[in-house]
Chains A and B, each alone.
Chain A
Amino acid sequence: MIIYGEILIWLVPVIAALLSPIIAHISRKLTHAVSITSMGISMIIAFTMLVDLIRGKVSYYPGNEVLGVIPFSRTMTWIPLKHIIGVDIKFGVLFDPLSIFMANVVAFVSFWIFIFSVGYMDKEPDIGRYWFLMNLFVSSMLLLVLSSNLLEMFITWEMVGLCSWALISFWYKSRAPSPDPRFKTEGEYNAHCGLKALLTTSFADAFFLVAIAIVGYVTMLSMGEPTFDFIALSENLSWINELVRLGILPIFSIMLLSGPLGKSAQFPYQEWLPEAMAGPTTVSALIHAATMVKAGAYFVGRFYVLIYEGVHLYNQTLPAGIDVFFLIAAYIGTFTAFLAGTQGMVAKELKKILAYSTISQLGYIFAAFGIAGLLMYQEAFLAGSLHILAHAVFKALLFLCAGAILHTVHTKYVYEMGGLKKYMPVTFYTMLIGALSLSGVPPFAGFFSKDAIIHVAFQNPKTQVLFIVLVITAIITVFYSFRMIGLVFYGEESDHIKKLASEHELHDAPLVMKVSLIALALVTIIAGIFFEPLQEILEGRIIDSSDLAASIGEYLYHTFISPLLPLTIAVILIGFLPAYYVFIARKADPARIVEGNIILRGIYRFLINRWYFNAMYYKIIDGVRGFSNQLRKIQTGLANVNILYMLIALLTALILLILM
């Protein structure tokens, strides 16, 4: 790693963020250049860290003789509380295999999305604001994955949420008609969507914060001084025993999970992510598919590592009862995967299909990490981590393809598209690669990671229920992927497309956008090869370069020729054939099929209304407003009553004090 890399990696984007609104007044090109350069620098620094990792300079092992290097962490005092409670709150970075892995995923995907942005945001007036927020987001996200303690993680956690809010509402000035009848203009709708995301995640984070504060308490009980530091928490797992002793472990687990569930849009917080698609597509790709929503899953993975290394490196016994945390994560993840997958089958907007798919795939990652923690099963952890990588790449690719399509056709409804294959060949092929990867078709990246998740669920008798649900969801995934491809690229051109084609030539994406698409598509194709060494790295082992090729070959062989191969093929076929029949070959009219059958119609109604969760949440909000309106009446406006309140308070306090 280069010198001061641990600071520069997030400081460079911050500087770019602060510069861009100023430079935007001078030159648009320069603004683009500054942002991409800074992102490039960050990516290179992240890559040098990866090199260090491969050379065995970083691992989970503190003070390991073989490796000689501890997980690199550098801290400074952030909130000094030494005089009050005996310890300071630190602020720092932690480099271990997991964080470096995540930082590389973030930096790599961000870089290509930044390049894509140059083309996509070409005609936008507020380019300074765009780059400011994007750079700030990337820097916060890098700091999030590299943060060395819980509190710092929470701070960056909220910062990425803030950037997400501002970027979803990015087009608040738009005066186009609103897609939602409750708002006058599209701009207001966008602002509403941003707000929905912010409020949902903040509500989830409120409990997360309380849980973090509880960590600061139980560590004080068990270790003598409060700490939020990941390494310190791992070194001494007795704080979990303290939670068990106090009898609050289940409620603590729910509160601690609440934050990750909110950020990763898992049940019951899943409703904000589809609306978050109101922002620019690059934002959806970067924040709401590839990086920020992964933060929740990353936290569960981090928590698993903390426990696993605590048990295996520091030779402690596994604290009894901690599996409750992972149990909840696994079940909620699996349920959400199914929930969102079904909604993805009927979604009408291109980006919303992808959004539901994102929620669903994040459910897979949650399930993987949950199973990992439940059984202390390293395979599951590796599968989940690799799915983070695979999903980040192919979902970013899919979103960027969607962005290229929206850029050209100016509609977001899939039923207004169709027949785009001949107009946008590059977009078509790259999106197809993304969809294949999403469906888990070999040999694309998604196949390896998703198969691995299903595999680990299959292997253990405890998780058979999860296995079944995950397989069903996999079928659904294949179906909606090809439904999307079919509706967009195949079949008759819709009236809208015909009109556009007659007015001016429908063209493929500009070169700068194509570059990103092709780069990400290539990574999706070849990523599978690198999964074996990545697994080694994530496990904290040094890669043995002598028989690297052999081990990769073995890995590929084992993945292909696994007992689950027939199942994989069956899943793909069951999902693909109806989608092909209806949406690609266009042999039947989907609307007629649904209308003709009363059960299908009922299911369709249920799914298109998002299982009625969304309506329920709005009802709750209305309830809160109604409650507030009732509460408001205590402000009577009568001076006498105000004094009466005082009198009552005085007497109540006095009586209570004397009685107590």
Chain B
Amino acid sequence: MTSLPIQVYFALSISLLAVGFYILSVKRNILRIILAIELMITGANMAFVILGYWIGNGVVDPLIRSIVIISMGIASIVAALAIAFVILIFNKFGTRDIRKLRKLRW
């Protein structure tokens, strides 16, 4: 199997992290923020897989497979919690704009 050099994939994972971070720090929409968090976790998982592939010389380390699967599970828990927060915010504040949540600034 021919493939791109590993650095490309690695750069992809870093850019996922960076894009996630960027969205978190500028976007107002709370749903986008949740997606950004998922993006960041995906980037980290991707880094795991790439490095596992690199260390295993073409075969991803089985330890890493289990780790990534668990990590995805955790990410889904976090996502579920995030959705719950979105619903709560909708009910209490009637907005999706994270910047409207600005009472606590003393």
Q: Which residues of A contact B (CB under 8 A)?
A: 632, 635-641, 643-644, 647
Contact = CB atoms under 8 A, between A and B. Distances in A.
Interface of B: 21, 24-28, 33, 98-99, 101-106
A637 B28 CA distance: 13
Contact of A635 (B25, B28, B98, B106): B106
Nearest to A632: B106
A121 B35 CA distance: 71
Contact of B102 (A632, A638, A643, A647): A638
B24 A640 contact: yes
A643 B101 CA distance: 15
A541 B26 CA distance: 80
A637 B102 contact: yes
A364 to B, nearest CB: 50
A329 to B, nearest CB: 45
Contact of B21 (A632, A635, A641, A647): A647
Contacts of B98: 638-640
The 3 closest A-B pairs by CB, nearest first: A637-B105, A644-B25, A637-B102
Contacts of A644: 25
Contacts of A641: 25
A107 B24 CA distance: 67
A229 B99 CA distance: 59
Given A639-B33, A640-B24, 10 more contacts: A632-B106, A635-B105, A635-B106, A636-B102, A637-B105, A638-B102, A639-B99, A640-B28, A641-B25, A644-B25
A647 B104 contact: no
A638 B24 CA distance: 11
A643 B32 CA distance: 14
B87 to A, nearest CB: 17
Contacts of B33: 639
B27 A640 contact: yes
B21 A639 contact: no
A interface: dominant SS: helix
Contacts of A636: 102, 105
A640 B21 contact: no
A380 B28 CA distance: 74
A636 B27 CA distance: 16
Nearest to B30: A639
B25 A647 contact: yes
A644 B98 CA distance: 14
A638 B21 contact: no
B99 A638 contact: yes
Contacts of B26: 640
Contacts of B106: 632, 635
Contacts of B21: 643, 647
Nearest to B21: A647
Contacts of A632: 106
B95 to A, nearest CB: 13
A647 B25 CA distance: 8
B28 to A, nearest CB: 7
Nearest to B24: A643
A637 B104 CA distance: 6
Most buried by A among B26, B27, B99: B99
Nearest to B18: A647
A635 B106 CA distance: 7
Contacts of B103: 637
Interface centre among B24, B27, B98 (most CB of A within 10 A): B24
Nearest to A644: B25
Nearest to B22: A647
Contacts of A639: 33, 98-99, 101
B39 to A, nearest CB: 13
A120 B27 CA distance: 70
B68 to A, nearest CB: 24
Contacts of A638: 98-99, 102
Contacts of A635: 105-106
A429 B27 CA distance: 83
A638 B104 CA distance: 9
Contacts of B24: 640, 643
B48 to A, nearest CB: 20
B38 to A, nearest CB: 15
Nearest to A636: B105
Interface centre among B25, B33, B102, B106 (most CB of A within 10 A): B25
A643 B105 contact: no
A643 B104 contact: no
